[in-house]
Chains A and B, each alone.
Chain A
Amino acid sequence: MNNIKKAINILIAGFGGQGILFTGKLLAEMGLIEGKEVTWMPSYGPAMRGGTCNCSVCVSDTPIGSPVVLKPDLLIVMNTPSYDKFISDIKPGGMALVDSSLVNSETKVPDGVVRFDIPAAKLAVENELQGMANIIMLGKLLKETKSSTLEVAEKALKKIITQSKEHLIALNMKAIRIGYNY
C-alpha cells in the first residue's frame, strides 16, 4: 500500500486484552524501521477494563497531523460492537480486515470498501497460539496490503519484545505466517 499512498491511517478495534494496542505498536514500529513518520494513539480510560478498546496508527511519508484516526483507510476489527461502530467510517477505497470467528454482524461494508475475512481467533486456538489472533490478523494484513514484509515484522518484534520474553518472537512469527498464508 505504501506504493500507492503517501499516508495510511489504520484503526484497530476489539476488546481489551486482545492485543489491540500491541498490534498497533508493532505496525508503528514497522513503519519506523522503514523510515516513515508514525504515530500511535490509544483509546484510554475505563473502556480499557473489559470493554471495547481501539488504537489509531498513522504511517506516512510526510509529518502527521492529528494522530486520532476517525476515517481509516484500513480497519482491523476483532469484535462485533467495534465492527458495527466503525465499519461505516472506512474511507472509500479502503479495506476492512475482519476476524470472522469473532464478528457476527448483519451490517454490510460500505460501497467501495474491500472486506477480507479470517477466523483468526479460531486459527490461534487450533495452532496453540492462544492470545495471538491479533498477530494472525497482522499476517493477513501484510499479505493483502503488501505494505511491508515478514522480515520487517520480525525486526520490529525483536525491538519491542523484551529479552526476558524472547521465546515469544518465534511464536509471533509463526502466527504472522499463519495469517500470511491463509
Chain B
Amino acid sequence: MEKVLMKGNEALAEAAIRAGCKCFFGYPITPQNEIGAYLAKRMPKTGGVFLQAESEIGAINMVYGCAGSGVRCMTSSSSPGISLKTEGISYIAGADLPCVIVNVQRGGPGLGSIQPSQADYWQSTRAIGHGDIRVPVLAPSSVQEMVDMTKKAFSIAEEYLTPVMILADGVLGQMMEPVSFDNFEESDARVSEPPWAASGHGFSRPHNIINSLYLEPIELENVIKERFERYEKIKEKETGAVYEKDAEIVVVAYGSTARVVRSAVDMARENGINAGGFRPLTLFPFPEKQLRDACKNARKVLVVEMSMGQMVDDVKLALECKLPVEFFGRTGGFVPNPEEIFNKITEIKEGL
C-alpha cells in the first residue's frame, strides 16, 4: 500500500483501530489530543466506542471495566494525566487485565510544560502504580513505530494479561512522517471473548470474578509470584533493541532522542570517531543482554535523554559498573540538537 503522511498521534490512533481496539476512553491534554480527536471521528464508524470521560481517573477506570468484560481497549494521555491514571493502572495490573496505555510525554513535574520530554522514564518503568508490579513499556522512535508498536502492545497485553504502555513524547506525537499500514491484516481486528471475561452469559457458566483484593497473604503472594513468572517470560521473548556492534563509544538513547543521537553518531563517524548507537525498543524489560553485547569493545558509554538522567540508571545496572557511563540531557521541553551531542562525544573521545 502507498505510504501516507500522518501525525504520530493520528497514526497511532488508526493503528489501534486496525489492531481491533473497540473502546477508547480519554481526557484531553496536549500534546496527545490528536489521538482522541481522530478516534472520536473514526471509532463510531468502525462499530467501536469513543468516550471522553470526566477526568483521567474516570477514563482509566472505564478501561478497567471494559478490559474486565473482555473488550480490547485503550486510553492515552500525557505526563500529568498519566500520574492521575496510576491508581487505575495498578488495579488493572492487579486484576491481570490486558489494555494499552499511551503516554505522549511532556515536561514535568506538575503541569510542567507542553513541550516534548522523557522525564517519565522512572514513572513508567518503576512506579506506574503501587504494589509489586511491572508494566511492559514500548518506546517508538518514528511515526511508523508508533503504528507497529501499537499492534505489538495489544498482542503483548493479551498474551501475558497485563497493561502495556507505549511511551512516546511530544515530538513523536506531533510530527508527520510517511507511514504504511501494510503490517495489518483484517484478522487483527477480530476479537473473540476471552474465557475469563466478566460478561453476560445467562447463567450458562459459573461467574468470572475480576478482582485485585486478596485478604489471605498466601493467596496474594502466590498470585504475585505467578505474575512475576510472566514478567520473566516477557523478558525472554519481548525484549528488543537496535544497535551497532564494536563501537568504542556507545551512545544510548530511546524515542525521539534516539533520532538526534543517530545524526550525532553519524557526525562522529564522519570525523573518525568509532561511536555507535544503541536504541532500546523496550524500556521494561530493559535490553540488558543486548547492551552488554553492544558494549563488548566499548571504552565508554554515553546516555542521552530529555530529562536530568533516568534511563542512565538502567544502563548502569545492565553494565554492572564494568564501564564508565556518562550522561547528557536537556530538560524542561528542549529537544537536544545533534551538535551538542556530537560535542559531548568528541569530549569523551578526547578524554579516553
Asked if A and B are interacting partners, one says: yes
Binding site for B on A (CB under 8 A): 25, 28-29, 32, 37-42, 44-45, 63-68, 70, 160
Contact B178 A32 (CB under 8 A): yes
Q: Contacts A41-B174, A41-B175, A44-B31; is A65 near B263 (CB within 8 Å)? A: yes
| B260: nearest chain-A partner, CB-CB | A66
In contact, A44 and B171 (Cβ under 8 angstroms): no
Q: Is B337 an interface residue (CB 8 A)?
A: yes
Given A25-B5, A28-B5, 8 further pairs, Cβ under 8 A:
A37-B178, A41-B175, A41-B176, A44-B31, A44-B174, A65-B261, A67-B171, A68-B337
**How many Å from the CB of B127 to the closest CB on chain A?**
28
CA distance A40 to B174 in the complex (A): 9
A41–B174 Cα gap in the complex (Å)? 6
**Complex: A100 Cα to B263 Cα, angstroms:** 35
Most buried by A among B3, B5, B259, B337: B5
Indicate if the CB atoms of B171 and A64 lie closer than 8 Å.
no
- Residue numbers in A under 8 Å from B338 (CB-CB): 65-66
**Contact present for A40 and B176 (CB under 8 Å):** yes
Q: Can you sample 29 A-B contacts with CB below 8 Å?
A: A25-B5, A25-B176, A28-B5, A37-B178, A38-B177, A38-B178, A39-B175, A39-B176, A39-B177, A40-B5, A40-B175, A41-B171, A42-B174, A44-B30, A45-B30, A45-B114, A45-B115, A65-B259, A65-B261, A65-B263, A65-B264, A66-B260, A66-B263, A66-B338, A67-B256, A68-B171, A68-B335, A68-B337, A70-B337
Number of A-B contacts (CB under 8 A): 60
A45 to B173, CA, bound (A): 13
Chain B residues numbered 209-236 whose CB sits less than 8 Å from any CB in chain A? none
Identify the closest chain A residue to B173 (Cβ): A44
Give chain A residues whose Cβ lies under 8 Å from the Cβ of B30. Answer: 44-45
For chain B, the count of residues having a C-beta within 8 Å of the partner chain is 24
Task: Give the contacts of B144-178 with A (CB-CB under 8 A).
Answer: 170-171, 174-178
Residue ranges of B at the interface with A (Cβ–Cβ < 8 Å): 3, 5, 30-31, 114-115, 170-171, 174-178, 256, 259-264, 266, 335, 337-338
How far apart sit A44 and B116, CA to CA, in the bound complex (Å)?
Answer: 10
B residues in contact with A29, CB < 8 Å: 5
Closest to A44 in B: B174
The reply to whether B176 and A64 contact each other, CB–CB distance below 8 Å, is no
Find out whether the CB atom of B115 lies under 8 angstroms from the CB atom of A64.
no
Write out the residue numbers on chain A whose beta carbons fall within 8 Å of the beta carbon of B176: 25, 28, 38-41
